[in-house]
Amino acid sequence: MNKPPKNDVFVQRTASFIDLQPTNESFEEAIICGLSGEKKSLPSKFFYDARGSRLFDEICVTPEYYPTRTEIGILAKIGSELANMIPERSQLIEFGAGNSTKVRLVLRAVQRFDSYVAIDISGEYLQKVANELASDFPEIKVTALCADYTRLFELPDADHHDGPARVGFFPGSTIGNLTSEGAITFLRNIGHLLGDGAGFIVGADLLKDEKILLAAYNDSLGVTAAFNLNILHRINRELEANFVPEYFSHTAIFNPEKERMEMHLTSLRDQTVRLAGRDFHFAKDEAIHTENSHKYTIKGFGELLEAAGHKPLKAWTDPEGLFSVHFARIGVAG
Ligand SMILES: C[S@@+](CC[C@H](N)C(=O)[O-])C[C@H]1O[C@@H](n2cnc3c(N)ncnc32)[C@H](O)[C@@H]1O
């Protein structure tokens, strides 16, 4: 039998994992608060347990869901332009990392990063994805940080004042899940996190024909419906509730006044659900508001960046004007 050559050593790198346990305390409180209001709602960040993260990946490959493939198309074209705006040996920090498809593209195309921090609320899935990335990019130091990016926290090497230049990355138009007030607060917070002069690459979905939007959030395979309903399964499991998910239906509508897609779970009957020792009543046709996805113009998104104190330097779109990617300089607006 042939022996393997001595120098053929296979080293599998893993990511460092830091768990700030972002949902431990807040989940029950947030769910009870959301279902107690006059208009019921649930925070969309709680869609993402391990099953929710996998369902989101499935949404991304449905024919109707144009944002993912369109943003990937834009990122694939702008690598060398981005590289010109980013110093060597920078650190890339991604907010809401998901399955890492887009960051792989950026790491390969830009070739300026020697460390990467993936931030996501979905801890189990984050750890798996970050380990795969660390193994595929052995030259890059990978840290997975399970945290809620809408709250204040510190980066792992925050006390290294002479640390690397930083670049934030926030793809997927995930920023659209925040109201404009929430987006400005988020953008200001990441200004403190990344530091003045850092780069920021962010994807924003654009306003367009309502038919394209409605189809994207009502895919014919029903994956978005399963993703929306997953939050009820999660509440049942983690809060010992007795939702019957089949008694709710997925609804996605365009709200022209607020320029956003909205997802709701609509009660199909009069029903009472027991949750964390309390009863919650749902009238027939009553809706639980589960997600907003705000849509922008390129100009409007630039103004949002400026309102948070950042300087938009460049924006790119696809030939059909469906989606946009922006590069901004942190903390140096006018
Ligand atoms: C719309 S998906 C986008 C995933 C990926 N970045 C992409 O572009 O395809 C949103 C991602 O952000 C994460 N996420 C949502 N809310 C979050 C929060 N408040 N803090 C941290 N991560 C969050 C989710 O777990 C999910 O991976």
**201 with 327: CB under 8 angstroms?**
yes
For the chain, what are the domain ranges?
Answer: 65-149+161-209+296-329
Question: What pLDDT is stored for residue 26 in this prediction?
Answer: 87
Task: Show the beta-strand stretches assigned E in 54-198.
Answer: 90-95, 113-120, 141-146, 166-170
d(CA 90, CA 143): 14
Position 136 scores a pLDDT of 96
Residues of the chain with pLDDT under 50: 1
Position 10 scores a pLDDT of 61
The rounded Å distance from CA 174 to ligand 1 centre is: 6
Contact indicator for 22, 146 with CB cutoff of 8 Å: yes
pTM of the model: 0.95
Query: Atom 1, ligand 1: which residue's CA is nearest?
Result: 174
DSSP 58-92: HHHTSTT-HHHHHHHHHHHHSHHHHHHHS-TTEEE
Q: Is the CB of 48 under 6 A from ligand 1?
A: yes
Residue pair 326/310 in contact (Cβ under 8 Å)? The answer is no
- How many whole angstroms from 296 Cα to the centroid of ligand 1? 19
122 CA to centre of ligand 1 in angstroms: 8
The reported pLDDT for the residue numbered 14 is 93
Superfamily designation of domain 65-149+161-209+296-329: Vaccinia Virus protein VP39 (3.40.50.150)
Question: 113-122, pLDDT tens digit by residue?
Answer: 999 999 999 9
50-60 and 223-239 helices, crossing angle to 10°: 180
Query: Is any ligand 1 atom within 6 A of the Cβ of residue 186?
Result: no
Angle, CA of 192, 196 and 197, to the nearest 5°: 140
For position 323, what pLDDT does the model report? 99
- In this prediction, residue 8 carries a pLDDT of 58
